[in-house]
Structure 1
Amino acid sequence: MYGIYIDRSSSLPVTRQLCNQLRERIESGQLAAGTKLLPTRVLAKDWGIARNVVIEVYEQLTAEGYLDCRVGSGTYVADGIIPSAAETVHPVPAKMNPSIISPEPPDRTLIDFATGIPDLARFPGKIWAKYLKEAAESSPHEYNYGDVKGCLSLRLALRDYLFRSKGISCSADQLIIVSGASEGFLLLAKALSAQFDSIYLEDPTIDIARDIFRMMNYSLVPVQVDSNGMQVDAIRTFLPGHLLLLTPSHQFPSGSLMPIQRRHQAIRMAEEADAYVIEDDYDSEFRLKGIPVPPLQILSPSRVIYVGTFSKTLSPSLRIGFLIAPPKLLDAITLAKDRLNLHTPAVIQTALAAFIRDGQLERHIHTMKKLYKKRRNLLTERLVQAFGDQISITGDEAGMHLQVLFHTQKHADLPWNDTSAYGFRVERSEDYRIGDGSSESGIVLGYGNLASDQITEGVSRMHRFVSAFGESM
């Protein structure tokens, strides 16, 4: 991308390599003023590196004046840089380690163990089209902006569904419809910024919420995660002006479940500090072992802001999520949503309301839960067959991903962000870290959108990858 090549045999850090090459392309005029650069997430995947590295490069070049970061718009090449007449120096291809070049797999289709993606082929398209058609033909009012909090029909259907499925008791007035959990986090960061400017985050954690609060100028306070979720004890004193974000039912990427003792402790600390806990109920519908875990919100409806989404249960493309706001915060959040003009399409809301009322959502979740359990079992079996006692598998009790921890540093240090030559892609646990604290090294494997044959072949490719490096070490 942009003709930039990472020399992995170089002693020069990757961050410096990228900074040098981007500067060169800007100074030579190859990247002209006003050029919009690709998002950090896209470049991280294309270059096979951690997204944090790309963010660091963008921040460094912004500080130097080469780039202009515009919140909500993107990153652009800054104005006022006069292109030099110097001859462009083209990057020298890296010297490849022979062990990295694997035999061509029989099927060259990349097998991506991406996290957070449900089985897109199993989306009930025909049934959904029926509800969407009915909603589109129902009333001309559906084509207006509507209530900024969301269609009443959807909020009522959600209220009843949440009570049936999770035991949450709330009013339809407390429910605020948003365009996905990401918009929910953004809305909360904006609405609460007058009272709060810092947030305690699990470390490691999913990058979306982390990046949103950072962009909204919150100070991030990372708190280590163990097999029981966030180590709440590490927060010696819950400081004023701090929020707390938790994923207690299925932490990402560790998959850990927070026990009731830590849940009570987190709520008690928030109450004493007159603060709030934001609960990201990440894919808890798919509990694969035991019974569903009650949300944190049930323990303290006045202190917990619940964030839910249909991206995992149905499809990311719907862009529908919701907040359950404590009554005390309802006006502030609604006002911020209105001023930002954040309306969610009414036709989709109306269709989803009928879809939920008729029991279609619960039928779909029930079907997918059984399917994901089979895939989880297959993936764990194949991993054990391939790697035996060299690994531990964690976080497989719920959701659509699990974590693989390596018992030897040799395997943990392999270039897991550069596996496309072997025909597969995975995510590293450490790519989701915020601070510099130590943690177990591993990879995160999503299986929601992979068929059984892809899972089997994907693990086989992983084994070839590890074996090739093992032979050369």
Structure 2
Amino acid sequence: MMYGIYIDPKSKLPVTRQICQQLRELIESGLLPAGIRLLPSRSLAKEWGIARNVVIEVYEQLTAEGYLEGRVGSGTYVAEGINLSPRPQMHGVSSEAGRTLQDVDHQDIINFATGVPDLKQFPRKIWGKYLKDAAETAPGEGDDYGDIYGDEGLRSAICDFLFRAKGIQCSVEHIMIVSGASEGFFLLAKSLSSNFHSLYIEDPTIDFTRDIFQMMNYNLVPVEVDSNGMNVDSLTRFETGHIALLTPSHQFPTGSLLSIQRRHKAIRFAEEANSYIIEDDYDSEFRLRGIPVPPLQTLSPSRVIYVGTFSKTLLPNLRIGFLIVPPNLSGRIAITKEKLNMHTPIIIQHALRQFILDGQLERHIHTMKKMYKKRRNLLTDRLIKAFGQEISILGDNAGMHLQVHFNRIHPCELSWSDTLSFGFRVETTNDYNLTDRKNHESIVLGYGNLSTDEIVEGVNRIHKFVSSNGNSPAL
């Protein structure tokens, strides 16, 4: 538990007061010493499973009391000059319910985390063989950093795979290997910053891409997402100095698909403004219903910068992805990458190249696609059995997560941050809002790394939680 803070869902005290009280004790005991920088409110909110506004309220309250101090552009710190009380011997911080932090840490929590593939199904022994072969047989450049664009053999293998899997036609010169999609987004933000200063971005959206562009001093222009993806219709054009970031094949977190009409309109806006669209295609390989949707890049290779990753198809910790870059931007991005000394390890590139050439990647995707489809079907069946007409299930056509909308429950009636005592953890669409608006809240359920037993039991726990608030019929 972050900072040893335990939020007791059964306590009569509001969450804000619980956290304030425990932080005061940590500061007064010296466990949080003067001058230490606390984590950002967004990070703590995610760790504790509560709304960010609650953490902000805690920080503001303790700042007013003198325990904390905010430093502009730097963060929130423990204030100087606080008298320390003797540090207690802590064998487990007790809650009002008589439970300890150690008890909580060992609870059987079912985490419906999003964006996590099945970590147990990755063919580790096979991958280890390719790594070993690459380490032993890599040519001389294996001891060097290699081409800034990435291994040519790997780029060629990716080109062939993209054509077979997604209908993308590109050449080796258009591909650039990066150490994960995060590095790709950073490179793009840095390379384009001399010509662009603002970003049209989906609202809600994944946090790390937003944070990257914010750190690069881009002005974020949130555009609301509905059942047809980013509402491009709300724009009349791309303003000068603006680019756009879209997840057209499977929007996160809503799961919506960008309609063809909006795809054409976004491309037309980019062409008219001499601008670009960044396409984040993070999991379209796992299209679970209907035929695969062609990437936005296929409609306009000169205006769409495609960001691909192997984090969902293989393993997140491989940290390898790629960009498909329009020719007129390729040199600029390569220069930025060279200056920042961003090279992806050659041995991993060689191993992945042979892994793809031998058909292992497509074999693994095929296996996982069938598995995820079964899990999705089980999850949706169980949800419908538990809640019936009380819910709508959205965004379940692809990927490893879906959205559950409670049709007749006002968002304030359920506190999804207080579910640990029921043995599960979920995220909500409002967790990913860029603005302070509060829509009718939906939960986002990731099932990629859950077993069938965990899915069944997880839905039972969700139903018990909702029922405890008097909002659901009995099973």
Same fold (TM over 0.5): yes
Q: What interval of TM-score do these two structures reach, taking the shorter chain for normalisation? A: 0.7 to 0.9
Q: Within 5 Å, which residues of 2 pair with 1:106-125?
A: 108-125=107-124
Using the alignment, how far apart are the partners of 1:27 and 1:240 within structure 2? 52
1:85 corresponds in structure 2 to: 83
Q: Is the 8 A contact 2:229 2:251 kept in 1?
A: yes
- Contact 1:29/1:83, CA 8 A, preserved across alignment: no
Q: Which amino acid aligns with 2:115?
A: G
Other-structure match for 2:48:
47
Other-structure match for 1:194? 194
Shift of 1:43: 3.0
Deviates more, 1:239-248 or 1:133-142: 133-142
Aligned to 2:470: 470
Equivalent position of 2:214 in the other structure = 214
Contact between 1:251 and 1:282, CA under 8 Å: does it hold in 2?
no
2:133 corresponds to which letter in structure 1? E
Asked if the contact 2:227/2:256 (under 8 Å) is kept, the reply is yes
1:101 matched residue in structure 2: none
2:125 is matched with 126
In the TM superposition, 1:17-96 aligns within 5 A as 30-32=31-33, 35=36, 37-38=38-39, 43-50=44-51, 54=55, 66=70, 77=77, 82-85=80-83
- Provide the rounded CA distance (Å) in 2 between the counterparts of 1:471 and 1:464: 10
**TM-score, normalised to structure 2's length?**
0.87
Distance 1:457 1:20, change over 3 A: closer
Distance 1:146 1:59 in 2: 50
Structure 1 residue 427: Cα displacement: 0.6
- Is the CA contact (8 Å cut-off) linking 1:28 and 1:83 kept in structure 2? no
Q: 1:217 to 1:10 in 2, by over 3 A?
A: farther
Distance (Å, rounded) in 2 between the aligned partners of 1:226 and 1:363: 34
The match for 2:434 is 434
Q: Is the deviation greater in 48-57 or in 279-288?
A: 48-57
Question: How does 1:3-402 map onto structure 2 within 5 Å?
Answer: 3-4=4-5, 14=16, 30-32=31-33, 35=36, 37-38=38-39, 43-50=44-51, 54=55, 66=70, 77=77, 82-85=80-83, 108-139=107-138, 140-402=140-402
Query: CA 1:12 to 1:125, structure 2 compared with 1: closer, same or farther past 3 Å?
Result: closer
Partner of 1:422: 422
Opposite residue 119 of structure 1, the aligned amino acid is D
Q: C-alpha distance in 1, partners of 2:181/2:428?
A: 23
Deviations along 1:208-256, one digit per CA (max 9) or x if unpaired, are 1111111221111111111100110112332111110111101111111
Q: Verify the 8 A CA contact 2:206 2:252 in the aligned structure 1.
A: yes
Query: Which 10-residue stretch deviates more, 27-36 or 327-336?
Result: 27-36
Residues 57 and 135 from structure 1, CA distance in 2 versus in 1: closer, same or farther, beyond 3 angstroms? Answer: farther
Residues 124-170 of structure 1 show CA distances to partners (whole Å, capped at 9, x for unaligned) of: 11211111111010134213211122111111111111111111111
Give 5+ residue unaligned stretches, structure 1. Answer: 97-103
Aligned equivalents of 1:56, 1:208: Cα separation in 2: 23
The ranges of structure 1 where at least 4 consecutive aligned residues each deviate by more than 4 angstroms after the TM superposition are 3-13, 16-30, 36-42, 51-62, 64-70, 75-78, 86-90, 92-96
Given the superposition, is the C-alpha separation of residues 471 and 274 from structure 1 closer, same or farther in structure 2, using an over 3 Å criterion? closer
Distance 1:128 1:446, change over 3 A: same
Are the equivalent residues in 2 in contact too, given 1:201–1:246 (CA < 8 A)?
A: yes
Distance in 2, matches of 1:19 and 1:329, equals 50
> Does the CA contact (< 8 Å) of 2:253 and 2:403 recur in 1?
yes
Rate the CA distance shift 1:20–1:237 in 2: closer, same or farther, 3 A: farther
Aligned mates of 2:351, 2:30 — CA distance in 1? 50
Instruction: Identify which range, 295-304 or 462-471, moves more after superposition.
Output: 462-471
Residue 120 of structure 1 aligns to a residue whose secondary structure is: coil
Aligned partner of 2:167: which letter?
Answer: G
Could you tell me how far apart the structure 2 residues matched to 1:227 and 1:254 are?
8
The change in CA–CA distance for 1:242 and 1:66 in structure 2 (over 3 A counts) is same
Q: Shift in Å at residue 35 of structure 1? A: 3.9
Q: Which residue of 2 aligns with 1:100?
A: none
Contact 1:123 1:315 (C-alpha < 8 Å) held by counterparts: yes
> Which digits, 9 at most, give the CA deviation of each residue in 1:342-376, with x for residues without a partner?
11111111100111111111111111111111110
Whole-angstrom distance in 2 between the partners of 1:249 and 1:335: 30
How much has 1:385 moved relative to structure 2?
0.6
Letter in 2 for 1:408: R
* Number of corresponding residues: 456
The CA RMSD over aligned residues, in Å, is: 3.3
Q: Percent identity?
A: 63
Distance 1:332 1:13 in 2: 49
Distance 1:2 1:301, change over 3 A: same
- Flag the 1:147–1:56 CA change in 2: closer, same or farther, 3 A: farther
Letter in 1 for 2:431: D
Check conservation: 1:33, 1:76, Cα contact below 8 A: no
Q: Shift of the alpha carbon at 1:464?
A: 1.2
Post-superposition Cα deviations, 1:372-403, rounded to whole Å, max 9, x if no partner, equal: 11110000000001111110000000011000
- Looking at structure 2, the residues matched to 159 and 193 of structure 1 have their Cα atoms a distance apart, in angstroms, of 28
Distance 2:18 2:108 in 1: 30
Report the secondary structure of 1:352's partner residue.
Answer: helix
Query: Offset of 1:121 from its aligned partner?
Result: 0.8
* Cα contact 1:167–1:294 (8 A) shared by 2: yes
- 8 A Cα contact 2:135 2:347, kept in partner: yes
